[in-house]
Amino acid sequence: MRIGIDARTILNPKKGDAIGVGHYTYQLINNILNLDKKNKYVIFFDFKVREKDVRKFTRQNSSVRFYPFSDYRKYLPGAYNEILTAGTLRKEHLDVLHSTSPTSRIPMSYHGKTIATFHDMAMYKIPECFPKSRLAREKISYKLMAKKVNKIIAVSNSIKNDIDKIFGVGAKTEVIHSGLDKRFFQDSCLTSDKILKRFGINKKYILFLGTIEPSKNITRLLQAFAKFKSKIVKKTSTGKNNKFNYQLVLAGKRGWLAKEYLQIAKDLGIKNDIVFTGYVIGDELCPLFRNAEFFILPSLYEGFGMTVLEAFATRTPAIISKIESLIEIADDAAYYINPLDIDAITDALIEFSENIDLRNTYKEKGLARAREFDWTDVARKTIKIYEKLKK
């Protein structure tokens, strides 16, 4: 078989979905190429990149192709982009084409066998958390891709259920849970002190990791942390000694409305207790997880919840939202909260900060759960879908 995989999300970090979807795309391709020596693979990029970035995708049974017109996209009408993309794909005589994100659209005029991976349905579930321009654009892409492709891979049963309800194409959808990068099980090669100092972390800290945007429920998290601080200070104050020995570390790139959270922190009187790290590179993640007192993800919606598994693998106990996808991924290995209840979030922060036995219990449960998610298994199941689609 000759299989094409759209890798445009890997080397384009300016795109909104580049972190999560880009990680999925990289791991999927890397593990497929390591596992499958029988089929031929063509990896597509949207623009020319440094040779060293592409070299890792070139194997004996794989090759790299670029969309040659991509540098001029802003000057071309949408119809020309569709025509030129379809022409580039047809030249490769593919048996199957896999788009790893619904936003990396397959041209309507391309009639080969196609697959798309859906990672979330947030724009349908919590539309108020997205700017209107992005919402309209992505809804169109999702709808077109859901109808066009021959097969959909959903990274959770939660997403599969939403796809079926919204698009009525559940019969073509198959669930393959994402894997977990094995480096999270290993000790970090970077020294923790160096990483913590660079980010200005000098106290015990609670870690959040994700794009800083409304869907992650950042406002309620800040409000809960302010209440947490107030209660801890009251409990520990003796005379004039009312030191607060915690920081809330918000790690991740800035998303929509991110600037507002700094003002909210100021208004709540916790500005000096909050650390905004910005985007965190891969080698910095393990030290951040391993040195945290615990991890919190109070999201309003998640398609999968990769950061929860990353916390589990690094033996970082986790407080997470009681929502369908996270329950599916975490099972009984995390402490659940109602993400709409600020007092419940506050109570969870207090309980985890005070109860080391509780934290240790979730450390062990989390580690066991994380071992169930393996990229080699994801690659094997994906290859089977390619082969079934060809028949």
Which pLDDT score is estimated for 146? 96
Tens digits of per-residue pLDDT, 280-329?
987 889 999 999 999 999 999 999 999 999 999 999 999 999 999 999 99
For residue 79, what pLDDT band results from cuts at 50, 70 and 90? low
CATH 1.10.10.10 fits 2-179+374-390, yes or no: no
Q: Residue 117 pLDDT > 50, yes or no? A: yes
More confident residue, 259 or 268: 268
Percent of the chain with pLDDT over 90: 71
For residue 243, what pLDDT band results from cuts at 50, 70 and 90? confident
User: Can you tell me the distance from the alpha carbon of 66 to that of 342, in angstroms, rounded to the nearest whole number?
Assistant: 48
Domains 2-179+374-390 and 182-370 agree in fold:
yes
Domain ranges of the chain: 2-179+374-390, 182-370
User: Can you tell me the distance from the alpha carbon of 248 to that of 206, in angstroms, rounded to the nearest whole number?
Assistant: 5
Q: Residue 49 pLDDT > 70, yes or no? A: no
In the chain, the amino acid numbered 258 is A
Which pLDDT score is estimated for 19? 61
Lowest mean pLDDT among 7-21, 222-236, 246-260: 7-21
For residue 251, what pLDDT band results from cuts at 50, 70 and 90? very high
For residue 127, what pLDDT band results from cuts at 50, 70 and 90? very high
CATH number attached to the domain at 182-370: 3.40.50.2000
Q: Residue 372 pLDDT > 50, yes or no? A: yes
Which pLDDT score is estimated for 58? 86
Mean pLDDT along residues 1-12: 85
User: Can you tell me the distance from the alpha carbon of 219 to that of 349, in angstroms, rounded to the nearest whole number?
Assistant: 15
Which pLDDT score is estimated for 14? 43
Q: Which two tokens stand for residue 391?
A: 């028949």
User: Can you tell me the distance from the alpha carbon of 145 to that of 147, in angstroms, rounded to the nearest whole number?
Assistant: 5
Tens digits of per-residue pLDDT, 179-198?
999 989 987 655 688 889 99
pTM for this one? 0.91
Which pLDDT score is estimated for 105? 85
Which pLDDT score is estimated for 257? 84
Which pLDDT score is estimated for 5? 97
Tens digits of per-residue pLDDT, 128-175?
999 988 898 899 999 999 999 999 999 999 999 999 999 999 889 999
More confident residue, 49 or 34: 34
